[in-house]
Structure 1
Amino acid sequence: MPADSDPRGKRALRLASGTALCLAISFGLDLPIPMIAPVLGLFLLASMNRPLSLKSGLGLILVVLFTTASGLLLSPLLRHYPASGVLLIGLGLFLAFRYGLRGGNSLVSLFLVIGLTMISAAGTIDFRLAATVVEALAKGLLVAVLVMGLCHWLLPEAPDAPAPPAPPVLPEREASRMALRASLVVLPAFLLALTDPLGYMPIILKSVSLGRQSCVTAAQGAARELLGSTLLGGALAIVFWCALSLFVSLWMFFLWMLLFGLVAARKLYRLSPTRHPPSFWLNTLATLIILLGQSVQDSVAGKDVYTAFAVRMGLFIAVTLYACLMLRLLEPQPRAPRKPGFFRRLPFGRLNRSPP
């Protein structure tokens, strides 16, 4: 493909600039849970190469409000009947992941998972906290959709650029197995968040990202991809924090995010090929944003940033190792060829199959 018709350069620049702009806007406007907007912007820009129309964008926001309301409905059940509530959350996660794997809208599936986990966990403590999470999701998505439209206006996709291939629709049995695996990846983080929903929101976001990644990762390379992307995201977050500490300002926050996003986006779109698949770099960027966003909030709140980062990174690694274990346990094993029975191995056991 000629260089001038290769759309990957524009796509990488859109992904990096859009994610950095979402980050700057969400922290600049002091949105609730500001890390949500750049994470959603990252997923939108990575999965769609065409801008959303005004009608589609408003429709998506309404869908998000309705899907996340499922978490509000389950919060009273979790408070009064926790065992039944957790079972219903697990069933809802299975159905949401299965819907996406069977050809459904991946964004609707993502918001269903977020609504079932983040909002229901927050609602067990306080209804107003759950409403704050709904507000954060709605505002974060609105920022992501607007930034996506602006990036496509500044860096339009070529009319003859090939569209990304649609994700394959898995057979019913395979989709159910992978949905069960993804649900089991998310559930422990959700149970942990029930003890302190506001403190463990980053763990839920990380587990949702791992659940999505587990749907496209083979068990053979699970440890390398899941754990490697988590560790690399943590290392990049440390380098980012040290660089940002040299000159702290929102402008430098945006520029550093743009630089780190460009480095990862070039590898994600194979402009700088590596042996890792695109999902590895997408998970690396998501981990970087979650860790960095929470560290900035810890700094504003006057907490010990380094201790909190170490604890959070340890939890991220534990959740990732658990996800690798689930991928190993729920990977179908090849059937060994059946050995002939004792009588079939005897000479007279083959007499009836000899030619006349």
Structure 2
Amino acid sequence: MPTEQQIRARRALRLATGTALCLAASFGLALPIPFIAPMLALTILAAMNRPLPFKASLGLALVLMITTGSGLLLIPLLQYYAAVGVMLVCLGLFLVFRYGMRGGSALVATFMVVGLTMISAAGATDFDLALQVVVSLVKGMLLALTAVSISHWLFPDPIDTRPPAPAPTLSADEVNWLALRAALVVMPAFLLALIDPASYMPIIMKSVNLGQQSTVTSARSAGRELLGSTLLGGLLAIVFWFALGLFVNLWMFFLWMLLFGLLVARKLYGLSPGRYTPGFWLNSLMTMIILLGQSVQDSAAGKDVYTAFAIRMGLFILVTLYACAMVYLLDNRRQRRNASNPTYTEDRTC
């Protein structure tokens, strides 16, 4: 029977291989938003240690179409009653994050957040752009599921592997507080995307990651977890870009992604112990994929890659600093409220 260390090593290989395969295939097939597919593959591989059956895969793609398509319903409100539309998006984000923290599917919650933000923001400017984003997400999901199936076939978990322990149950007040905090983290990026969705689409994806990461981050560790993972992701993207410049072809793109994925996966699965959480390493790898994917697209379009990267990285850092500040301010406010109302604190801990 394989040891726990061997099982973790197999999972690290599976995550790196699936993500690299999906990244290379996405750019090779010239998908409209190519960094979406590897991010979906990475999310699924990190969340699930078992392959999805064929029917479940089709069902997940259908869920993606429905949840992201729901953002289309908000477009008329954002166009004609902007204030009402923005408040509904904020309320929807709060409800979705609360659903995820109350035991709901993390993947479905992610899809719903993307639908509420990316789709509605794109449609507020151009309905055809919103439809294109929906189609890109569905294509990316189908490609991601294919890559996930291949990686599970190459590196399967043993049949008798025990499932992971369930996450600790949070109180209703804790869930509501964390969901509000996550929604407020995502909202500024959504408002920026209403101005220019094509330019700020990566910022939305980054803010969604920060919103999810903020639900498990305390005020004390917010700077280290949120800002540190963003800076590390940017550094990895820079090193990856210059390494890719040595031999510019799709095979090297796959191999470099495999190498970087393995380095991060070793930390994510605890093969190389460290003081940072798995969420820190997962967010770092996602940040790298977003920045790298945008840089490759900028290069193909003939844009100034380094200026665009600097602007995008600056925006990422600003969004992350805002997320850190929001976590710190809201947690401090909550601590003051609990200190001024000890009866409430006692009831909550009972």
Question: Shorter-chain-normalised TM-score: which range?
Answer: over 0.9
Q: Quick check: 1:53 aligned with 2:53?
A: yes
Is the contact made by 2:5 and 2:271 (CA closer than 8 Å) also made in structure 1? no
Tell me what 1:190 maps to. Answer: 190
1:142-188 Cα deviation digits (max 9, x unpaired): 11111111111111111122222223332211111100000000000
Q: How many residues align?
A: 339
| Aligned partner letter, 2:234 | G
CA–CA separation in structure 2 for the residues paired with 1:243 and 1:282: 21
CA–CA separation in structure 2 for the residues paired with 1:208 and 1:168: 22
Tell me what 1:219 maps to. Answer: 219
| Aligned partner letter, 1:35 | F
Unaligned runs of 5+ in 1: 340-356
1:176-223 Cα deviation digits (max 9, x unpaired): 110000000000000001111011110000000000101111111010
Listed as ranges, the matches of 1:1-356 within 5 Å are: 3=3, 6-331=6-331, 332-333=334-335, 335-336=338-339
1:54-110 Cα deviation digits (max 9, x unpaired): 111111111111111111110111011111100000011011100000111111110
CA–CA separation in structure 1 for the residues paired with 2:280 and 2:305: 26
Which of these two proteins has the greater Rg computed from alpha carbons? 1
Unaligned runs of 5+ in 2: 343-350
CA–CA separation in structure 2 for the residues paired with 1:247 and 1:338: 63
CA–CA separation in structure 1 for the residues paired with 2:52 and 2:266: 24
CA–CA separation in structure 1 for the residues paired with 2:341 and 2:25: 62
| Aligned partner letter, 1:147 | A
CA–CA separation in structure 2 for the residues paired with 1:195 and 1:176: 30
The DSSP-based 3-state class of the residue aligned with 2:125 is: coil
CA–CA separation in structure 1 for the residues paired with 2:93 and 2:340: 36
Is the contact made by 2:19 and 2:38 (CA closer than 8 Å) also made in structure 1? yes
State percent identity of aligned pairs. 66
1:238-294 Cα deviation digits (max 9, x unpaired): 000000011100110000000000000000000001110100000000000000000
Q: 1:95 to 1:337 in 2, by over 3 A?
A: closer
Is the contact made by 2:186 and 2:204 (CA closer than 8 Å) also made in structure 1? yes
CA–CA separation in structure 2 for the residues paired with 1:164 and 1:43: 16
1:18-43 Cα deviation digits (max 9, x unpaired): 00011001000001100000011111
Is the contact made by 1:77 and 1:85 (CA closer than 8 Å) also made in structure 2? yes
**CA deviation after TM superposition for structure 1 residue 306, in Å:** 0.3
TM-score (norm 1): 0.92
Is the contact made by 1:203 and 1:315 (CA closer than 8 Å) also made in structure 2? yes
CA–CA separation in structure 2 for the residues paired with 1:318 and 1:59: 37
Q: Which has the higher helix share?
A: 2
CA–CA separation in structure 1 for the residues paired with 2:290 and 2:40: 11
CA–CA separation in structure 2 for the residues paired with 1:262 and 1:69: 34
Is the contact made by 2:23 and 2:38 (CA closer than 8 Å) also made in structure 1? yes
Tell me what 1:351 maps to. Answer: none
Q: Please, which moves more after superposition, 164-173 or 132-141?
A: 164-173
Tell me what 1:343 maps to. Answer: none
Q: 1:264 to 1:5 in 2, by over 3 A?
A: closer
Q: What RMSD, in angstroms, separates the aligned Cα atoms of the two structures?
A: 1.6
**CA deviation after TM superposition for structure 1 residue 4, in Å:** 7.4
